[in-house]
Structure formats: C-alpha cells, structure tokens
C-alpha cells in the first residue's frame, strides 16, 4: 500500500488526489532510493490496473457510458436504443503520442497529471478482465438468459435444471475455490470469482445440451478465448487466435442478443489480446488481488470514525510485531490426516500413509476436488499419499482410460487439455508428488467426467 484515501465521496480533483504520488515518483525515478545503505533505482509503473471509472478518472477521459469512451481505439460510438454502442471492430487504435497531443477532443476532458511522469496513457492502462469479462459480459449473458428479452430468455424449467446441476458440483471443486456454485437465480449476488468459475469450469458442463446450439457455441467461443488468454502456455502461442475468437464472439453476440448490447464492456473484449501480447497471460494484470486486499483493509475498520487512522494503526502494528517465521522443513507441517486404510502397492507397505499434503503451495488430497491430476498426458486420481523412511513423498494414483474430446467447436477441447474420461483402469501406480504439477478440475456429467486444467488457486 502506497497511500490511502477515505471521504464522503470520490475526490473532486484528480490533480490534487495524485499530486503527492506524481511528485514522489518524479523524485524516485530521478534520484532512486537509499535503503539500508544500498541504492535502488525505481522505474515507472509498467501497468496501471483499475476499473473503467478509475481509469477515466486518472486519465481525465470520457466515462464508459459516453461517446468516444473506448480507450484502445478511436471509434466514436453510435446511439442505439438509449445506449452508446461500438459496432466497428476494425477502428484505428490509439497511440500514446496521439493521447499526449489530445488529438481526439471528444475523448478527453482534461490533461492527466500522469502525463508528467511520461507513462504510456494508452499502452500502460490495461483493460482488467475481472470487471470487463467476469462482472461484465459473463454477468450480462446470465442476466439475458434469466430475465432478458423473450427471444433469448431460457425457460424456467431449464434454468432450474441448470441451477440444480450447478449446486451438485460443489463437492467436486477444489478446496481452495472459496466460493462454490450457486443457483443461476442468485446471479445478481455472485462475486467476480463465481462468474469466472462459471465461464471457465462449470458453465461448459452444466449448459451442455441445456441451451440452443448457437447460444451454447457462442458461450464456448468466449470460454475458450479467455482460457487461452489466462493460460501462460497457450497465451504465448495462440494469442492471435484468441483475438479472432473474441471478435467472432462479439459478432455473433450481436446477432443472437441484439446490436444494442454492443456497449463498452462487450466491445472491449476485442482489445483484451493487446494486453496479453504485452504482459503475458491476463492473470499477471488483474484486479483480483487488489480487490481482495481492499476487503482485508476494510475489515480493519471497527468503527465509523477516522477509518484511515484505524487502518494505518493496524497495518503499522502488523509490520512492527509480525516476525518472519522461519519455515520448518519438517514434512509433518505439510502432511495431514494420517490413516492406515491404504492402498499400499508392493514395496511400500512400511510407508506412513496420509490423506492430504501441501506441496509448493498446492493442495494434494485423496478427496474429490483435490485428487485429480494430469500425469504423462493421462488423467489420474490420487488414492493415497505415502512417506518413506527417506522422507520422500509419493502418491498412489489410479489412471482413467484414455480420454476423448469434450467439444470440437471452436477447437478440439483436447488441444486445451480438456477431456472426457469415464472408466478407471483399476491399477495403482506410485509416482513422486513432484510429478503432480498439473492439477485438474474433475466434474461429473451423467455417466462420464469432464477434466479441465485448473488455472486458479482461488
């Protein structure tokens, strides 16, 4: 935390609000920082991560509901059914130089104080996918299915079935997913992580054969594109393809739901790949950690008077009294739930057995939700955890038979690591836990399971 503000309303002047930060950055970038008799150079921020209203405030530009409000491109927008929409997907992109010269007068409201720092006021401001995708387009899709126009609304019987299937998946999700699936009827209360979970994991499964084919395929296009942009392995090779998918999604979204929904959030999808090209997978520039930390700070406020002072005192207390605990290398701190119920393959009968362990920040368990991994391109379930006298940790695994594709549109799901598996081989294999590096989310669907690579820890 660099600074903290509290007041009865948003700051009236961005210049006053940012003055101290701008002046300090100017000094630090010029003189550097001395700490413990060592000199450090301080670079300018590489990325500014904030939601659309905050970006408009810092950059002194039009808000997201106005004309010429798109930050990456110069499209002015058109008025349609009471909304400003952006139907053009090939508009010229803005540049930092054009922004500094304020060539698009309709886009600017004032000169940003950040201009003094020389940061790229176009390229250094990312379109945070937490707000744009999770709380934006995914929430809009669900709202259209639940209470949208009759042309795209889903029947109450289908909604009930989908909602029940969502709730049945609770026990199958990893333990570190703090929020479990809820009914579609409660979507207005969903948090961003729930919409992300629905888009990437549960949605493709519970919506299968529940939606009209064109609607389901449109949802799949969005899910695949965002999965590519969130995966470090896929993003580096298929960023251009993800961009084409997002443009294709927006085009078909307009055909299915109406051009009046091509608002700022929907249009912004076509620019997400630009951030991925510069910063890598979108999880490197997202708002989730900052939003979580804001919640942590808010919980430090115990009475309405002087909230800033209360938070500063709590933070100072933690910095003063918290001591870095020297982590013990003892395996007992990482292993939990000892038992004697097996299975223990031949040669491992003398090992100590456990049901759960923490390995490099990852939970490995014998329980559903945390027991599915990919090993040598095959899907396996962890059946037991063994510790030898040499203090090595092994996992007893049972493999599924060879998996098949879950979907083949817009690409074969197997190319994303998503497969359908059914029968287990019934044979146990022992592997070091170091080989359990790729965790999967295993979701039941009728008489088979869908295995999806886990991209998040919360």
From the centroid of its chain, how far is CA 268? 16
Please say if the pLDDT value at position 428 is more than 60: yes
Q: How confident is the model at residue 327 (pLDDT cuts 50, 70, 90)?
A: very low
Q: Are residues 256 and 196 in the same domain?
A: yes
pLDDT digits (tens, 9 = 90+) for 294-316: 889 999 999 989 999 999 999 88
- Band (pLDDT 50/70/90 cuts) for residue 333 is low
Residues 336, 407 within the same domain: yes
Quick check: is 325 in a domain? Answer: no
pLDDT tens-digit series, residues 235-251 = 999 999 999 999 999 99
Q: DSSP 3-state assignment of 283?
A: helix
Specify whether the CB–CB gap between 10 and 1 falls below 8 A. Answer: no
Cβ(107)–Cβ(69) below 8 Å: yes
Measured distance CA(371)–CA(442) in Å, rounded: 9
Say whether both 273 and 377 belong to one domain. Answer: no
Hey, which bits of 309-391 come out as E strands? 335-339, 352-359, 362-365, 372-375, 378-387
Average pLDDT along the chain: 92
Q: Tell whether 317 is covered by a domain.
A: no
In a domain, 321, yes or no: no
Tell me whether residue 52 is in a domain: yes
Average pLDDT of span 269-281:
96
Residue 113: the pLDDT is 96
Q: Are residues 279 and 135 in the same domain?
A: yes
Where is 429: in which H helix or E strand?
Answer: strand 424-432
The boundaries of the domain holding residue 275 are 129-284
Q: From 259, 284, 309, give the residue that closes a domain.
A: 284
**Are residues 110 and 18 part of one domain?**
yes
Identify the top-confidence range among 6-10, 96-100, 401-405.
96-100
Query: Which residues, listed in sequence order, are joined to residue 190 by a DSSP beta bridge?
Result: none
**One domain, residues 261 and 150:** yes
CB 235, CB 281: distance < 8 Å: yes
Whether 294 is covered by a domain: the verdict is: no
Query: How much of the chain, in percent, has pLDDT values that exceed 90?
Result: 80
Find the radius of gyration of the CA atoms of the chain: 25
Closest CA to 286 of 178, 134, 454, 141: 134
* Cβ contacts of 88 within 8 Å, gap of 6 or more: 75
The answer as to whether 376 is a domain residue is yes
46 and 118 share one domain: yes
Is residue 367 in a domain?
yes
Residues 315, 3: contact at Cβ < 8 Å? no
Tell me how far apart the alpha carbons of residues 353 and 157 are, in angstroms, rounded to a whole number.
47
**In this structure, is residue 337 part of a structural domain?**
yes
Q: Are residues 138 and 276 part of one domain?
A: yes
What are the backbone angles phi and psi of residue 4, rounded to the nearest 5°?
A: -140, 135
Q: What is the pLDDT of residue 34?
A: 92
Instruction: Provide the pLDDT confidence category of residue 6 given band limits of 50, 70 and 90.
Output: confident
What's the pLDDT band for 154 if we cut at 50, 70, 90?
A: very high
Q: Which of 126-135, 161-170, 389-398 bottoms out in mean pLDDT, i.e. has the lowest?
A: 389-398
Assess whether 70 and 33 both reside in one domain: yes
pLDDT-derived band at 209, boundaries 50, 70, 90: very high
Number of compact structural domains in the chain = 3
CATH number at residue 427: 2.30.30
Give the end-to-end CA distance of the chain in Å, rounded to a whole number: 22
Whether 331 has a pLDDT exceeding 60, the answer reads no
* Cα torsion 86, 88, 51, 193: sign: positive
The helix (run of H) or strand (run of E) holding residue 288 is helix 288-298
Q: What is the mean pLDDT of residues 42-64?
A: 93
Residue-by-residue DSSP string for 133-168:
IIIIIIHHHHHHHHHS-TTTPPPHHHHHHHHHHHHH
Q: Report how far residue 452's alpha carbon sits from residue 220's, in angstroms, rounded to the nearest whole number.
A: 14
Are 148 and 268 contained in the same domain? yes
DSSP structure string for 373-392: EEETTEEEEEEEEEE-TT--
Nearest to 74 by CA among 271, 279, 278, 276: 271
Question: In sequence order, what are the beta bridge partners of 439?
Answer: 373
What lies within 8 Å, CB to CB, of 233 at 6+ separation is: none
Q: Give the C-alpha separation, 64 to 267, whole Å.
A: 11
Residue 267, judged by CB atoms within 10 A of its CB (0-12, 13-18, 19+), counts as buried
DSSP 93: B
Closest residue by Cα to residue 130 from 235, 200, 211: 200
> Is residue 185 located within the same domain as residue 151?
yes
The answer to whether residues 119 and 157 belong to one domain is no
Q: Which of 264, 284, 304 is the last residue of a domain?
A: 284
| Cα 71 from Cα 48, distance rounded (Å) | 13
Q: Which of 227, 250, 284 is the last residue of a domain?
A: 284
- C-alpha 125/C-alpha 282 separation (Å) is 13
pLDDT value, residue 107: 97
């Amino acid at each position: 935390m660099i600074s903290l503000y509290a007041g009865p309303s948003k700051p009236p002047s961005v210049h006053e609000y940012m003055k101290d930060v701008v002046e300090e950055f100017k000094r630090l970038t010029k003189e550097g920082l001395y700490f413990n008799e060592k000199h450090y150079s301080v670079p300018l921020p590489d990325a500014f991560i904030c939601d659309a209203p905050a970006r408009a405030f810092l950059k002194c530009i039009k808000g997201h509901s106005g004309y010429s409000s798109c930050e990456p491109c110069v499209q002015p927008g058109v008025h349609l059914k009471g909304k400003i929409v952006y139907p053009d997907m090939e508009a010229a992109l803005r540049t930092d130089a054009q922004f500094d010269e304020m060539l698009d007068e309709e886009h600017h409201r004032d000169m940003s104080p950040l201009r003094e720092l020389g940061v790229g006021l176009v390229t250094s401001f990312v379109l945070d996918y937490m707000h744009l995708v999770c709380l934006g387009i995914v929430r809009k899709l669900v709202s259209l299915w639940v209470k949208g126009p009759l042309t795209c609304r889903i029947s109450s019987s289908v909604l009930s079935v989908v909602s029940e299937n969502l709730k049945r998946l609770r026990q199958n999700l990893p333990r570190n997913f703090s929020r479990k699936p809820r009914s579609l009827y409660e979507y207005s209360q969903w948090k961003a992580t729930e919409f992300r979970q629905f888009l990437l994991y549960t949605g493709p499964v519970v919506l299968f054969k529940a939606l009209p084919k064109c609607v389901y395929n449109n949802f799949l296009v969005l899910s695949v594109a965002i999965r590519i942009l969130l995966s470090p392995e896929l993003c580096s090779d298929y960023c251009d393809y993800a961009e084409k998918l997002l443009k294709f999604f927006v085009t078909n979204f307009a055909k299915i739901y109406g051009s009046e929904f091509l608002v700022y959030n929907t249009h912004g999808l076509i620019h997400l790949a630009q951030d991925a090209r510069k910063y890598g997978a979108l999880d490197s520039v997202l708002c989730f950690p900052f939003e979580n930390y804001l919640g942590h700070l808010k919980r430090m406020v115990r009475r309405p008077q002087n909230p800033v002072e209360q938070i500063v005192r709590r933070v100072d207390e933690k910095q003063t009294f918290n001591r870095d605990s020297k982590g013990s290398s003892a395996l007992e701190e990482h292993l939990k739930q000892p038992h004697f119920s097996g299975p223990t393959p031949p040669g491992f009968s003398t090992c100590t057995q456990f049901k759960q362990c923490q390995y490099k920040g990852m939970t490995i368990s014998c329980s559903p939700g945390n027991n599915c991994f990919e090993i040598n391109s095959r899907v396996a379930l962890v059946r037991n955890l063994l510790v030898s006298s040499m203090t090595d940790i092994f996992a007893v695994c049972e493999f599924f038979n060879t998996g098949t594709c879950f979907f083949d549109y817009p690409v074969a799901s197997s190319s994303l690591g998503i497969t359908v598996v059914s029968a287990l081989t019934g044979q146990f294999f022992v592997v070091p836990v170091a080989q359990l590096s790729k965790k999967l989310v295993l979701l039941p669907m009728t008489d088979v399971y869908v295995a999806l690579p886990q991209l998040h820890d919360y």
